[in-house]
C-alpha cells in the first residue's frame, strides 16, 4: 500500500516526522545538559524545542492518519499502525504537558516536566520502532503491493540484513 499523500513522489508523513522526533529528542538532551550544568539557558532552549516539536508532531499526524486509513483491515500492518498512532498521540500529549508545566518558568521547570519529557522520549523510541517496522519491514507507505502481514523483524533473525537484501526476491519486501 503506497502512501496516500505524496510530495514529489515521496510520502509526506515520512518527510515530516523527522522534525518532531529530532526536536523532542533534543529537548531531552538540553534538559540533561541543564541538569548537569544548572545553566538556565539550556532549560529555555529545551522549552522552545518542546514547543516546536509538539507543533511538528501535530503537523505530521494528519498525514500519518490518512496513510493509516489506507491500510487493509485485519492485517498486522493495521494493528501496528494503530499502536504507532495512538502511541504517538500519547507521546505528543506527554511533551505538551511538559511544555505547559514549564510555561510559567521555563528556566527552572518542576520535576513533573522532566518526568513527562523523559517518559515521552522512552515511548517515542518504541513508537519510532513501530513506524520503522511499518515502513522498512512491511513496506507500508513505500510499495504499492506491501506485505502488510510480514512477520516481525524481531522474529526473523535475517530480516532486513544487508545479506538478505541481495538474496531475497523482490516480493520479500513488498515489491
Q: What are the residue boundaries of the structural domains of the chain, listed by start?
A: 6-173
Tell me: the pLDDT tens digits for 19-66? 999 999 999 999 999 999 999 999 999 999 999 999 999 999 999 999
Contact 89, 127 (CB under 8 A): no
Q: Spell out a b/e string for 121-160, using b for 16 or more CB atoms within 10 Å of the CB, else e.
A: bebbeebbebbebbbebbbbbbbeebbbebeebeeeeebe
- How would residue 159 be classed by pLDDT, with cut points 50, 70 and 90? low
State the average pLDDT over residues 68-78. 92
Q: Which three cell numbers stand for residue 106?
A: 521555563
DSSP single-letter state for residue 170 = G
Name the pTM for this structure.
0.83
CA separation for the pair 128, 142 (Å, rounded): 16
Cβ contacts of residue 32 below 8 Å, gap of 6+? none
Q: Which of 18-22, 90-94, 106-110 has the lowest mean pLDDT?
A: 106-110
Amino acid at each position: 500500500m503506497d502512501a496516500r499523500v505524496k510530495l514529489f513522489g515521496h510520502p509526506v508523513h515520512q518527510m515530516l516526522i523527522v522534525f518532531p522526533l529530532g526536536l523532542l529528542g533534543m529537548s531531552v538532551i538540553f534538559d540533561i545538559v541543564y541538569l548537569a550544568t544548572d545553566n538556565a539557558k539550556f532549560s529555555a532552549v529545551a522549552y522552545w524545542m518542546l514547543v516546536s516539536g509538539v507543533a511538528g508532531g501535530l503537523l505530521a499526524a494528519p498525514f500519518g492518519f490518512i496513510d493509516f486509513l489506507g491500510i487493509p483491515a485485519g492485517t498486522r500492518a493495521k494493528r501496528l499502525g494503530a499502536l504507532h498512532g495512538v502511541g504517538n498521540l500519547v507521546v505528543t500529549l506527554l511533551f505538551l504537558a511538559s511544555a505547559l508545566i514549564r510555561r510559567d518558568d521555563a528556566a527552572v521547570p518542576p520535576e513533573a516536566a522532566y518526568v513527562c519529557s523523559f517518559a515521552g522520549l522512552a515511548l517515542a523510541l518504541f513508537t519510532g520502532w513501530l513506524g520503522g517496522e511499518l515502513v522498512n519491514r512491511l513496506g507500508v507507505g513505500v510499495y504499492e503491493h506491501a506485505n502488510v502481514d510480514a512477520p516481525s523483524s524481531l522474529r526473523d533473525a535475517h530480516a532486513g540484513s544487508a545479506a538478505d537484501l541481495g538474496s531475497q526476491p523482490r516480493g520479500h519486501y513488498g515489491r
